[in-house]
């Protein structure tokens, strides 16, 4: 599929929807509808709005249309040994950069390099009234005006339909090494806690099914030295990390009901009756199994975090907001989408 | 010189005496200041060109007192401007003539440092450097390091999304803050973010960072701490022209090297900094680069060699690697004190903060040089070259009639050029009152309207730091500065002084 | 900062000096970070930047309120701000001008006036201090803590003062409070210098350096003390004495200022300049001892007086001297911070002074030192009442460590 600018068509659709007060269900690659509430409304597709707009390798900055597939961008970046630092998951080839930003999804590198929002420099978008808006820019430091581009990140399109995003890039590290060792979750947590305060070239720390894996990346000398210090077996095949990133490990594939629990990284194991995968050096725990929603949420809240049901039957996948917070977020929604046209109810019934 | 504060909406002018009496009833003795001699030193922050005395200054010690002040002011329709250490460079903490200045300096306790989670929970008045000092025994530090880090407070850092010399690699404040407790203008307390990696709903923490005190009053901050890299090597390179130094910067980034810091100073700034810090800078150089590489011993050594050869190829006239930690700190001390040190060169300086794509560094520096000679005003350049954040310092004498106006005009031309090449009017200092006019260069009416509406969502009555950060549409229209093309601007110059 | 001086002062020497200093200030606020009172009180009015502003307002003709006097009184004069200031603002000089102006414009309360008069009457004169000190030591347990903290529990006997046997001579400032409260200091200095071939002599006619009066805005009284000392020392300097040595850094700093303070006094300007040029702190004249002399490898925490580090820029010397004798130097947090003694400050601003003294004592004792040393009598007395470890002048420790040689 070739590059195309559908900005004007998209804008017209939104203007019309705004006029009639009709909801629009925003779709691009179609890979990120979950987690999310079901949206009643006509489909507004961004899949064909694609293409890299700006990319100057010496700037380490890329600007692309929202419908551009992540894989296409990554293939281009690889030619100059650059990459997307937040490793957005690619559940399918169609997964887009706009979707990754809108849903704020980040891969295993997140605790070491930053989340999607940390790499977003600017966005072009259309709000719920059909107004084209530009926030942020394509420079690394920019504090002019409120940081609306980062607000859009993770808003699931409910504040504006992203047309293009400017993203900061990272150079691809010289070399990569995966280490694996057998251990119980409690011991894995202890190791992760001890790693955090050490200056190591880490880019991944995860535990699944009795195996703790550490990914090291950087200069060859630094990586090999760290590998010696950390011990464990070298894992020749780095595919596990890619499958973790894309949520294609059997753990995810087989899950009938899948919870994502975001916690303070030192929080104790969840100890719920479900299979657990620990990522982000302890800060992201995946649960696979039929666990009572109330129980998961209560446990997450007790540990200082929140839980999202990513797969499984529910009306409310996201952690409920306190009344004051919800009211504030409703007021923000009204700023950008007064008639609730954009993905109405996708995050919360009230938004 | 009492400067009428720009664009402050008419607030119900409360009877000052009544208000002070009510405030005194809420706060302990010594926490309310209202006499002219007490108000004068509070009339400006780090940008003393803008001054305005508030109705009263309050210096509370606990959150309940802040809440009480906000509730009273909400009820009376009195504007409130929060202030930390008062080191800001854009007039963000300039008081409101009819308002209360809320000083958070007494919130200076570090509440906890968690070495396992690598976090610190602190009150907003804690100094940036004090966090790193408290974390040091655990081998940790707080990464954002604005030049004013010895004095500036974390609450102000969050409000301004402060940067620093190491944010090329370690990010700005927004990347290093995990949570903030804020009070809305009505006194309601909210927690934004948390100790986990993210929070449900909209990312209001990101929105808070850099919101310049217009959305809420920050009463507690949780920051992320990093492991101090075991090795840091600092390389000093001199060039015979700033343009050549700019090209060398681009070549380092293009090579896939992300230095911890990459700073540049031109001849004027080099000499001023040297005179204060005796850092050992060669004072005859036209441009100086400081490039810091950090990480493990191996990483540093490898990168150092690559950077050295890139700089040599880029025409460096002198290359020097700091021999030891003492020399490294000494070389940095010159850079960190460069702004105030330039204060020695002229009675006044005007600090700009444009940010540009790195590849346009050379063009912009050339343009600044041309404009500088056109206006007959010397410009010293001190900036974060690695991330394209420029700090041209225009030297002037406010005592000479008309010189401030010409300085501002020159400043605006420089910013217009930054926007033209794809950059921004402020990289880290914030808009405050100082860059309200320049905001019209960067944003159209639609964006500005949304900004105002976002504020309204947090602060419906518009009482928190009103008139800052976002210009009114009327102002932009009046200046006819909206949507400028080609960098040539009409300068009718709205009365700002 | 742009300043327009009011007519009354614009053309005076003090006005020109103040204007020059104010021009350098860019209002960056770095100074507040290291100001002890700002860090305690969190009020701009009690930090250097705010005090400069209050002084600027007076210089520009504003009528100062009583609060201005209060905020200037609260300044310790430690000059940590000068060390921090990247623009080279000479705050200390501006403060002198500001205090004098405030004193003229603001009516001081009766009690405050009386306190100051008593201090000026008593402390410069050893014969007046001595009986009070003896009495205070006897009733020390009965005194309120604020007062007790200033009274040494015991006086270290001074020991022998060696004969003036060397050709090389230096003049000691015997001082006022030091000669009574810590008599061991000068004698130890004399012994250490004697061992390095220098005889330390005193001039009986000399007395208080005048700093106390000066900082209480009794400028003329302070100058009279200066003139008396100059008259006593000039003959000795003419007879070949190499230096005027101060073992109390606070006094030394003031002696260095004689030249500037008496510059407009035709009869004394030249002599004052000569004396100032000859002033040395004890750290400058004691040679580095041969390594490893200390018999029992003392663990030492050093409190460097502000007058030494911020005033005379001689920080680090005491450490170097003690390290050379084999002492172990313990790290001390916030080493640039004042102990709150600051001359008469400890009596006039006892609450703030106590807080600062307690904080400093905690920091100094964090590493469990065998001894705390300092270089100024005021600091020594301030800390002695608050530390469990003995607090001594560094020269005493050095004297004992090098005596075995």
**B392-396 and B318-321: which strand pairing?**
unpaired
Mean pLDDT across A77-92 = 95
Nearest to B125 among C42, C65, C87 (CB): C42
Rounded to the nearest 5 degrees, what angle is found at the Cα of C347, between the Cα atoms of C346 and C348? 100
Which of residues A137, A171, A205 is at a domain's end? A171
Write down which chains contact chain C via at least 3 CB pairs under 8 A: B
The rounded distance, in Å, linking the Cα atoms of A152 and A160 is 7
Question: Do B206 and A153 make contact, defined as CB atoms within 8 angstroms?
Answer: yes
Q: What is the pLDDT of residues A136-170, one digit of tens each?
A: 999 999 999 999 999 999 999 999 999 999 999 99
**B chain contacts of residue C2, beta-carbon cutoff 8 Å:** 1, 48, 347-348, 398-399
One domain for residues A81 and A187: no
* Contact B134/C at CB under 8 A: no
Q: How confident is the model at residue B483 (pLDDT cuts 50, 70, 90)?
A: very low
The rounded distance, in Å, linking the Cα atoms of C86 and C25 is 9
Are C170 and C244 spatial neighbours (Cβ–Cβ below 8 Å)? yes
Whether the domain at B231-341 and the domain at B348-479 fall into the same CATH topology: yes
The rounded distance, in Å, linking the Cα atoms of C282 and A122 is 62
Q: What is the pLDDT of residues B249-263, one digit of tens each?
A: 989 988 889 999 999
Specify the pLDDT at position C402. Answer: 83
Specify the pLDDT at position B495. Answer: 30
> Tokens 């102000």, residue?
B156
Query: At a CB cut-off of 8 Å and minimum separation 6, what does B249 contact?
Result: B262, B264, B289, B358, B361, B385, B386
**CA-closest candidate to residue B57, choices B37, B76, B75, B31:** B31
**CA-closest candidate to residue C163, choices C131, C198, C138, C129:** C198
* Contact C153/B at CB under 8 A: no
The rounded distance, in Å, linking the Cα atoms of C5 and A293 is 72
One domain for residues A136 and A234: no
For the sheet with A284-288, list strands across it.
A233-235, A175-182, A211-218, A202-208, A275-279, A284-288, A258-262, A306-311
Task: Tell whether omega for the bond before B98 is within 30 degrees of 0, i.e. cis.
Answer: no
One domain for residues A60 and A104: yes
Looking at the predicted structure, is the pLDDT value of residue A343 above 90? yes
Specify the pLDDT at position B282. Answer: 93
**B189-193 and B318-321: which strand pairing?**
unpaired
Q: What is the pLDDT of residues B409-422, one digit of tens each?
A: 999 999 999 999 99
Specify the pLDDT at position C93. Answer: 93
One domain for residues A164 and A182: no
Write down which chains contact chain A via at least 3 CB pairs under 8 A: B
Chain A nearest CA to B30, separation (Å)? 34
Nearest to B344 among C33, C34, C87 (CB): C87
Measured N-to-C along each axis, helices C91-105 and C13-24 cross at an angle, to the nearest 10 degrees, of 130
> What is the fold of B231-341?
Alpha-Beta Plaits (3.30.70)
The rounded distance, in Å, linking the Cα atoms of B82 and B104 is 7
Provide the domain count of chain A.
Answer: 2
In this structure, whether the domain defined by C299-403 belongs to CATH 3.40.50 is answered with yes
Question: Do C26 and B340 make contact, defined as CB atoms within 8 angstroms?
Answer: yes
Distances, alpha carbon A29 to alpha carbons A35, A69, A119, in Å: 15, 8, 21
Asked whether residue A344 is assigned to any structural domain, the reply reads: no
Mean pLDDT across B6-28 = 76
* Contact B106/C at CB under 8 A: yes
What does the block give as tokens for B77? Answer: 């329709």
What are the E-state strand segments in A219-320? Answer: 233-235, 258-262, 275-279, 284-288, 306-311
* Structural domain that includes position A260: 175-311
Question: Do B357 and A263 make contact, defined as CB atoms within 8 angstroms?
Answer: no
What does the block give as tokens for C10? Answer: 């614009």
Q: How confident is the model at residue C87 (pLDDT cuts 50, 70, 90)?
A: confident
Q: What is the pLDDT of residues C288-338, one digit of tens each?
A: 887 655 566 899 999 999 999 999 999 999 999 999 888 999 999 999 999
Q: How far is C-alpha C226 from the chain's CA centre?
A: 16
The rounded distance, in Å, linking the Cα atoms of C203 and C178 is 15
One domain for residues A149 and A234: no
Are A97 and A64 spatial neighbours (Cβ–Cβ below 8 Å)? yes
Looking at the predicted structure, is the pLDDT value of residue B123 above 90? yes
Q: How confident is the model at residue B496 (pLDDT cuts 50, 70, 90)?
A: very low
One domain for residues A96 and A193: no
One domain for residues A220 and A128: no
Q: What is the pLDDT of residues A209-226, one digit of tens each?
A: 999 999 999 989 889 999
Mean pLDDT across A95-102 = 96
User: CA torsion angle for A188, A189, A192, A197 (degrees, to 10)?
Assistant: -150
- Does chain B reach chain C with at least 3 CB pairs under 8 Å? yes
Q: What is the pLDDT of residues C112-137, one digit of tens each?
A: 999 999 989 888 888 888 888 888 88
- Does chain A reach chain C with at least 3 CB pairs under 8 Å? no
Measured N-to-C along each axis, helices B297-313 and A220-230 cross at an angle, to the nearest 10 degrees, of 180
* Contact C331/B at CB under 8 A: no
**CA-closest candidate to residue C58, choices C28, C27, C21, C101:** C101
Count the neighbouring beta carbons within 10 Å of the beta carbon of residue A33: 16
**B chain contacts of residue A110, beta-carbon cutoff 8 Å:** 197
Residue C219 exposed, middle or buried by CB count within 10 Å (0-12, 13-18, 19+) = middle
CATH class held by domain C7-105: mainly alpha
What does the block give as tokens for C198? Answer: 């220098």
Mean pLDDT across A230-253 = 92
Mean pLDDT across A221-246 = 92
Question: Do B277 and C62 make contact, defined as CB atoms within 8 angstroms?
Answer: no
What are the E-state strand segments in B115-173? Answer: 119-122, 140-141
> Tokens 């849903």, residue?
A103
One domain for residues A20 and A132: yes
**CA-closest candidate to residue C356, choices C332, C382, C375:** C382
Domain B16-103, CATH: 3.30.43.10
**B chain contacts of residue A132, beta-carbon cutoff 8 Å:** 446
**B392-396 and C168-172: which strand pairing?**
unpaired
Chain C nearest CA to B407, separation (Å)? 15
Question: Do B202 and A332 make contact, defined as CB atoms within 8 angstroms?
Answer: yes
Distances, alpha carbon C332 to alpha carbons B326, C302, C341, C357, C368, in Å: 19, 8, 18, 14, 11
Count the neighbouring beta carbons within 10 Å of the beta carbon of residue C164: 14
Chain B nearest CA to C1, separation (Å)? 7
Chain C residue closest to B153 (CA)?
C33
Looking at the predicted structure, is the pLDDT value of residue B173 above 90? yes
| Backbone angles phi and psi of A179, in degrees to 5 | -115, 145
**B chain contacts of residue C62, beta-carbon cutoff 8 Å:** 36-37, 40
Instruction: Identify the helix (H) or strand (E) that includes residue C378.
Output: helix C377-384
Specify the pLDDT at position A274. Answer: 92
Q: Give the residue extent of every domain in chain B.
A: 16-103, 110-227, 231-341, 348-479
Nearest to A110 among B167, B197, B422 (CB): B197
User: CA torsion angle for B274, B276, B277, B280 (degrees, to 10)?
Assistant: 20
The rounded distance, in Å, linking the Cα atoms of B349 and C92 is 24
pTM over 0.90: yes
Q: How far is C-alpha C272 from the chain's CA centre?
A: 19
Looking at the predicted structure, is the pLDDT value of residue B3 above 60? no
The rounded distance, in Å, linking the Cα atoms of B343 and B118 is 38
* Contact B239/C at CB under 8 A: no
> Tokens 């929080």, residue?
A267
Mutate to test the interface with C, among B43, B153, B343 (most CBs of C within 10 A): B343
Query: At a CB cut-off of 8 Å and minimum separation 6, what does A303 contact?
Result: A263, A264, A267, A268, A270
Question: Do B422 and A137 make contact, defined as CB atoms within 8 angstroms?
Answer: yes
**B chain contacts of residue A198, beta-carbon cutoff 8 Å:** 139, 227
Chain A nearest CA to B460, separation (Å)? 10
Residue A114 has what DSSP assignment? -
Report ipTM (2 d.p.).
Answer: 0.96
The rounded distance, in Å, linking the Cα atoms of B143 and B128 is 9
Specify the pLDDT at position A1. Answer: 62
* Contact C290/B at CB under 8 A: no
Mean pLDDT across B76-86 = 97
Phi-psi label, residue A234: left if phi above 0, alpha if psi -120 to 50, beta otherwise: beta
Per DSSP, chain C holds a count of helices (H) and strands (E) of 25, 8
> What is the fold of B348-479?
Alpha-Beta Plaits (3.30.70)
Q: Give the residue extent of every domain in chain C.
A: 7-105, 299-403
Tally A–B CB contacts below 8 A: 252
Domain B110-227, CATH: 3.30.465.10
């Amino acid at each position: 599929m070739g590059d195309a600018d559908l900005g004007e068509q998209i804008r017209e659709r939104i203007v019309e929807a705004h006029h009639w007060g009709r909801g629009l269900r925003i779709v691009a690659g179609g890979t990120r509808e979950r987690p999310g509430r079901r949206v009643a409304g006509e489909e507004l597709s961004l899949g064909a709005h694609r293409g890299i707009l700006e990319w100057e390798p010496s700037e380490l900055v890329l600007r692309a249309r929202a419908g551009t597939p992540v894989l296409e961008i990554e293939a281009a970046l690889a030619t100059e040994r650059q990459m997307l630092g937040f490793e957005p998951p690619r559940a399918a080839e169609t997964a887009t950069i706009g979707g990754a930003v809108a849903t704020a999804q980040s891969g295993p590198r997140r605790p070491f390099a930053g989340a999607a929002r940390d790499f977003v420099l600017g966005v072009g978008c259309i709000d719920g009234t059909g107004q084209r808006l530009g926030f942020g820019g394509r420079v690394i430091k920019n504090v002019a005006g409120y940081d609306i581009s980062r607000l859009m990140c993770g808003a699931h399109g409910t504040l504006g339909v992203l047309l293009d995003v400017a993203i900061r890039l990272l150079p691809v590290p010289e070399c990569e090494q995966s280490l694996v060792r057998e251990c119980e979750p409690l011991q894995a947590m202890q190791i992760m806690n001890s790693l955090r305060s050490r200056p190591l070239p880490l880019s991944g720390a995860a535990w699944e099914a009795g195996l703790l894996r550490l990914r090291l990346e950087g200069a060859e000398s630094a990586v090999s030295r760290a590998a010696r210090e950390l011990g464990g077996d070298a894992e020749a095949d780095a595919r596990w990390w890619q499958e973790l990133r894309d949520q294609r490990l059997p753990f995810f594939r087989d899950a009938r009901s899948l919870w994502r629990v975001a916690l303070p990284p030192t929080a104790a194991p969840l100890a719920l009756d479900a299979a657990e995968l620990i990522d982000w050096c302890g800060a992201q725990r995946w649960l696979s199994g039929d666990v009572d929603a109330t129980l998961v949420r209560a446990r997450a809240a007790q540990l200082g975090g929140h839980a999202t049901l990513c797969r499984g039957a529910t009306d409310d996948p996201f952690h409920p907001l306190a009344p004051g917070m919800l009211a504030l977020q409703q007021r923000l929604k009204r700023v950008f989408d007064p008639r609730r046209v954009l993905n109405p109810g996708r995050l919360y019934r009230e938004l | 010189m009492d400067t009428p504060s720009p664009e402050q909406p008419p607030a119900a002018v409360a009877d000052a005496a009544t208000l002070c009496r009510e405030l005194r009833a809420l706060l302990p003795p010594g926490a309310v200041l209202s006499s002219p001699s007490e108000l004068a030193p509070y009339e400006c922050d780090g940008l003393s060109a803008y001054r305005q005395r508030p109705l009263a200054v309050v210096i509370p010690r606990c959150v309940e007192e802040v809440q009480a002040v906000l509730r009273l002011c909400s009820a009376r329709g009195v504007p409130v401007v929060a202030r930390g250490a008062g080191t800001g460079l854009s007039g963000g903490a300039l008081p409101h003539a009819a308002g209360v200045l809320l000083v958070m300096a007494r919130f200076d306790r570090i509440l906890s440092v968690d070495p396992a989670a690598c976090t610190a929970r602190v009150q907003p008045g804690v100094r940036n450097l004090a966090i790193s000092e408290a974390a040091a025994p655990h081998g940790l530090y707080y990464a954002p390091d604005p030049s004013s880090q010895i004095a500036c407070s974390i609450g102000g850092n969050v409000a301004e999304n402060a940067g620093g010399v190491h944010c090329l690699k370690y990010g700005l404040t927004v990347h290093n803050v995990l949570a903030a407790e804020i009070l809305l203008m009505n006194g309601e307390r909210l927690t934004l973010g948390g100790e986990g990696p993210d929070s449900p709903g909209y990312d209001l923490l990101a929105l808070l960072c850099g919101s310049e005190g217009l959305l809420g009053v920050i009463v507690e901050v949780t920051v992320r701490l990093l492991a101090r890299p075991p090795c840091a090597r600092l390389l000093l390179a001199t060039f015979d022209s700033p343009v050549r130094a700019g090209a060398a910067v681009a070549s380092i980034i293009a090579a896939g090297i992300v230095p911890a810091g990459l700073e540049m100073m031109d001849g004027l700034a080099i000499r001023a900094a040297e005179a204060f810090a005796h850092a050992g800078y060669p004072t005859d150089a036209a441009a100086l680069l400081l490039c810091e590489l950090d990480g493990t011993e191996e990483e540093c050594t490898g990168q150092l060699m690559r950077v050295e050869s890139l700089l040599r190829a880029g025409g460096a006239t002198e290359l020097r690697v700091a021999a030891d930690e003492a020399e490294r700190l000494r070389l940095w001390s010159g850079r960190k004190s460069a702004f105030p040190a330039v204060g020695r060169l002229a009675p006044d300086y005007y600090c700009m903060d444009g940010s540009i794509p790195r590849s346009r560094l050379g063009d912009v520096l050339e343009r600044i040089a041309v404009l500088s000679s056109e206006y007959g005003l010397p410009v010293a350049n001190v900036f974060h070259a690695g991330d394209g954040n420029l700090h041209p310092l225009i030297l002037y004498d406010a005592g000479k009639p008309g010189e401030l106006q010409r300085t501002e005009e020159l400043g605006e031309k420089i910013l217009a050029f930054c926007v033209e090449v794809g950059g921004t009017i402020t990289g880290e200092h914030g808009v405050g009152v100082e860059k309200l006019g320049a905001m019209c260069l960067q944003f159209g009416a639609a964006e500005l309207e949304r900004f105002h509406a976002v504020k309204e969502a947090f602060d419906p009555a518009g009482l928190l730091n009103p008139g800052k950060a976002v210009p009114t549409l009327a102002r932009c229209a009046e200046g006819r500065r909206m949507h400028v093309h080609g960098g040539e601007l009409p300068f009718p110059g709205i009365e700002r002084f | 900062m742009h300043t327009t001086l009011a007519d009354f002062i614009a053309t005076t020497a003090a006005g020109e000096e103040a204007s020059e200093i104010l021009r350098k200030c860019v209002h960056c606020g770095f100074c507040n970070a290291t100001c002890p009172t700002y860090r305690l009180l969190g009020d701009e009015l009690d930090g250097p930047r705010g005090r400069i502003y209050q002084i600027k307002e007076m210089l520009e003709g504003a009528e100062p309120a009583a609060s201005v006097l209060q905020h200037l009184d609260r300044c310790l004069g430690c000059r940590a701000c000068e060390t921090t200031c990247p623009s080279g603002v000479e705050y200390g000089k501006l403060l002198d001008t500001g205090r004098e102006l405030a004193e003229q414009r603001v009516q001081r309360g009766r009690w405050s006036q009386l306190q100051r008069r008593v201090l000026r009457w008593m402390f410069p004169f050893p014969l007046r201090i001595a009986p009070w000190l003896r009495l205070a030591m006897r009733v020390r347990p009965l005194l309120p803590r604020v007062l007790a903290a200033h009274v040494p529990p015991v006086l270290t006997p001074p020991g022998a003062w060696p004969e003036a046997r060397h050709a090389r001579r230096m003049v000691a400032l015997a001082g006022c409070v030091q000669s009574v409260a810590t008599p061991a200091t000068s004698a130890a200095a004399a012994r250490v210098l004697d061992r390095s071939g220098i005889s330390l002599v005193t001039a009986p006619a000399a007395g208080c350096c005048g700093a106390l009066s000066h900082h209480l805005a009794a400028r003329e009284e302070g100058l009279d003390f200066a003139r008396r000392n100059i008259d006593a020392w000039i003959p000795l300097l003419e007879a070949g004495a190499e230096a005027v040595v101060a073992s109390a850094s606070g006094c030394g700093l003031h002696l260095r200022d004689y030249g500037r303070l008496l510059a407009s006094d035709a009869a004394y300007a030249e002599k004052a300049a000569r004396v100032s040029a000859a002033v040395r702190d004890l750290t400058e004249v004691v040679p580095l001892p041969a390594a490893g002399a200390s018999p029992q490898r003392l663990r030492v925490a050093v409190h460097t007086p502000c007058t030494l580090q911020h005033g005379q820029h001689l920080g680090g010397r005491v450490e170097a001297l003690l390290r050379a004798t084999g002492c172990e130097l313990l790290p001390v947090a916030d080493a640039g911070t004042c102990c709150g003694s600051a001359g008469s400050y400890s009596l006039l601003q006892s609450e703030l002074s106590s807080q600062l003294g307690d904080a400093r004592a905690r920091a100094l004792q964090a590493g469990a030192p065998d001894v705390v040393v300092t270089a100024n009598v005021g600091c020594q007395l301030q800390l002695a009442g608050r530390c469990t470890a003995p607090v001594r002048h560094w020269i005493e420790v050095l004297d004992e460590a090098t005596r075995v040689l």
